[in-house]
């Protein structure tokens, strides 16, 4: 890769290394300079820029990040679309993260260009939580380095995978001493219920017995015969030795004590045992508290279907100091939420009157109902939004309300009717925004007459969205020309709701360039809408020709 100062006349096709003013326009870092950009720089009097030019042995940053992220992603892990050399890996379900640390380390040792950052192995994660990120440091990766990384990633099962939580019927034994209060047992049960519920499981049966060996043995046997697993034992008195009441009762029931104690604080006095195929856990006293402790780590793995061995327990010491101390505030209280993929909704505006396309010419009350490729035009847009992962997908109707709803029957969308649709696009935007959940981070505003938009276009916009880096208005571009749909961060919703007329929120883009992120698209779908009968017929004919070309090749 060539990097350094260049005269604008020598920079066509080069990648801009730093943002550059060109008259009233700002070209942002990472922009591939076009002939029109060079002319604008020259006209603005710019005599030199800092840019990078790739050579034949370089792989562009997004291509490299996407390839490696896809190779790293295993079961229940999704590799998001890349942007600016970054591709995130996201949990598709709640569960326990599994990482081949040796292979991740080996990839990070290849060179400076490729980096992989992950959460800790066996961390409990939620749906849509970010698990790892692949980041290309420069604008490209040497092909040889990428090939080495891909070879390592593909050497066996994917290095980053997720074992999802499976609903399990759990058994509980709670022992009692003469002085044990029922309220203590009830509170311990409630806290345990909450732990299990968070991971999709429940206590199928609880047995309360005296704190003696025979009673524990009988209770554990009864729960095992019912097929409950795992079996948890809350001792009224802490277990201090593997020959104490709880472990002795498990052995008398026919079980085996595998390990006593763990290098995690709180959680030191956990007991790991097994009766037949069922894991049996003697709970440490700290499990009566909702605060994070070593039992949480063991329970999560068991509920995700992972075996827990004595070696696993003994390996939990690194990072196992969970106890509050003055120099380390307890991380489970007051900590920020785990990083997750942004929650993006989609609004499909489908309320217009189609004034430039007469219904008497089309035979349908709205152009959005006209068939393209065997389905109404609006269905193409909605299916792209659903496939992108945006949720919820809300369709704003107006003209031909019932017909649009019927065309989208069976699709996982919600509808909202805009009674003021005749007053312009802004009314549909306002109506749609008012229905969005409060917990979303942004919204894709999609036009129902852009049937060439696919999920890949929307995924690129979602990947570019990053409020922490100031990218809160993500706009698709084709050869530098801006199009639709646009992804707006929540912070712009109020201003968008104040827009009047039929122009949408386009002026907000021009007034807030610092928040705008231009996202280059591989084709002109972002510039292609259908307003007239002639445009529809041309698109319909293009689809027919494409289908004929495919059939001839086959």
pLDDT more than 70, % of the chain: 93
CA distances for 409 relative to 65, 376, 516, angstroms:
38, 12, 35
For each of the domains in the chain, give its residue range(s) and CATH number, in order of start. 2-53 (3.90.105.10), 59-164 (3.90.1170.30), 169-314 (3.40.980.10), 344-533 (3.90.550.10)
Q: Assess whether pLDDT exceeds 50 at residue 334.
A: no
pLDDT band, very low/low/confident/very high, at 513 (cuts 50, 70, 90): confident
Residue-wise pLDDT for 230-258, tens only, equals 999 999 999 999 999 999 999 999 999 99
> What is the pLDDT averaged over residues 214-232?
98
In this predicted structure, what is the pLDDT of residue 537? 83
178 to 173, 181, 209, 210, 220: CA distances (angstroms): 16, 8, 11, 8, 21
The CA dihedral of 486, 389, 340, 76, to the nearest 10 degrees, is -150
C-alpha–C-alpha distance, residues 117 and 108, integer Å: 9
pLDDT above 50: residue 418: yes
274 vs 280: CA distance, rounded Å: 5
- Mean pLDDT of the 191-212 span: 97
pLDDT (0 to 100) of residue 357: 62
Indicate the DSSP class of residue 521: -
Q: How confident is the model at residue 335 (pLDDT cuts 50, 70, 90)?
A: very low
For residue 417, CA distances in Å to 273, 333, 396, 399, 442 come to: 59, 43, 6, 9, 21
Q: Does residue 135 have a pLDDT over 50?
A: yes
Q: Tell me the per-residue pLDDT of 111-134, one tens digit each, with 9 for 90 and over.
A: 999 999 999 999 999 999 999 999
Give pLDDT, residue 356. Answer: 59
CA 434-440-442 angle, to 5 degrees, is: 80
Tell me the pTM.
0.83
Q: Over the stretch 276-302, which tens digit does the pLDDT of each residue have?
A: 999 999 999 999 999 999 999 999 999
Per-residue model confidence as pLDDT tens digits over 140-163: 999 999 999 999 999 999 999 999
pLDDT tens per residue, range 44-87: 999 999 999 999 999 999 999 999 999 999 999 999 999 999 99
What is the average pLDDT score of the chain?
91
Confidence category of residue 222, pLDDT binned at 50, 70, 90: very high
- pLDDT above 90 coverage of the chain, percent: 81
Q: Is the pLDDT of residue 317 over 50?
A: yes
Band (354; pLDDT cuts 50, 70, 90)? low
């Amino acid at each position: 890769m060539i990097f350094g100062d260049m005269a604008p006349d020598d920079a066509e096709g080069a990648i801009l290394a730093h943002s550059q003013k060109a008259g009233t326009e700002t070209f942002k870092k990472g922009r591939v300079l076009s002939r029109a950009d060079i002319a604008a720089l020259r006209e603005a009097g710019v005599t030199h820029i800092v840019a990078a030019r790739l050579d034949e042995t370089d792989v562009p940053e997004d291509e490299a990040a996407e390839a490696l992220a896809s190779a790293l992603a295993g079961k229940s892990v999704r590799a998001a679309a890349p942007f600016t050399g970054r591709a995130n890996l996201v949990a598709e379900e709640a569960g326990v993260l599994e990482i081949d640390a040796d292979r991740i380390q080996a990839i990070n040792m290849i060179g400076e260009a490729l980096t992989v950052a992950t959460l800790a192995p066996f961390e409990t994660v939620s749906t849509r939580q970010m698990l790892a990120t692949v980041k290309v440091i420069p604008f490209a990766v040497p092909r040889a380095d990428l090939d080495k990384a891909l070879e390592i990633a593909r050497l066996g099962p994917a290095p980053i995978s997720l074992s999802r939580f499976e609903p399990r019927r759990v058994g509980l034994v709670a022992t009692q001493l003469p002085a044990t209060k029922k309220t203590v047992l009830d509170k311990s049960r409630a806290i345990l219920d909450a732990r299990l519920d968070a991971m999709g499981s429940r206590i199928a049966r609880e047995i309360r017995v005296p704190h003696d060996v025979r009673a524990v043995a009988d209770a554990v046997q009864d729960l095992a015969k019912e097929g409950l697993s795992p079996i948890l034992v809350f001792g009224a008195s802490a277990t201090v030795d593997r020959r104490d009441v709880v472990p002795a009762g498990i052995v008398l029931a026919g079980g085996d004590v595998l390990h006593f104690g763990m290098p995690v604080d709180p959680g030191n006095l956990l007991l790991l045992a097994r009766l037949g195929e069922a894991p049996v856990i003697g709970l440490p006293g700290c499990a009566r508290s909702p605060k994070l402790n070593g039992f949480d780590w063991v329970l999560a793995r068991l509920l995700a279907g992972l075996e827990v061995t004595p070696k696993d327990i003994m390996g939990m010491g690194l990072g196992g100091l969970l106890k509050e101390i003055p120099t380390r505030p307890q991380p489970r209280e007051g900590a920020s939420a785990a990083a997750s993929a942004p929650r993006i909704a989609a609004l499909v505006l489908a309320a217009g009157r189609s004034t430039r396309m007469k219904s008497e010419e089309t035979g349908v009350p709205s152009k959005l109902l006209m068939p393209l490729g065997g389905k109404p035009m609006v269905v193409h847009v909605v299916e792209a939004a659903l496939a992108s992962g945006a949720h919820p997908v809300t369709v704003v109707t107006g003209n031909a309300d019932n017909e649009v709803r019927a065309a989208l029957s069976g699709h996982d969308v919600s509808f909202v009717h805009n009674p003021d649709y005749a007053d312009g696009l802004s009314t549909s935007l306002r109506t749609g925004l008012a229905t969005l959940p409060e917990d979303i981070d942004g919204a894709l505003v999609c036009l129902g007459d852009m049937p060439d938009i696919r999920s890949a276009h929307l995924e690129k916009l979602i990947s570019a969205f990053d409020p922490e880096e100031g990218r809160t208005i993500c706009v698709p571009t084709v050869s530098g020309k801006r199009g639709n749909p646009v992804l707006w961060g929540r912070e712009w919703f109020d201003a968008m709701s104040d827009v009047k007329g039929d122009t949408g929120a386009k002026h907000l883009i021009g007034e807030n360039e610092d928040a705008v992120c231009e996202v280059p698209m591989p084709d002109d779908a972002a510039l292609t809408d259908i307003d007239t009968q002639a445009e529809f017929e041309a698109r319909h004919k293009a689809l027919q020709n494409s289908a004929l070309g495919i059939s001839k090749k086959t």
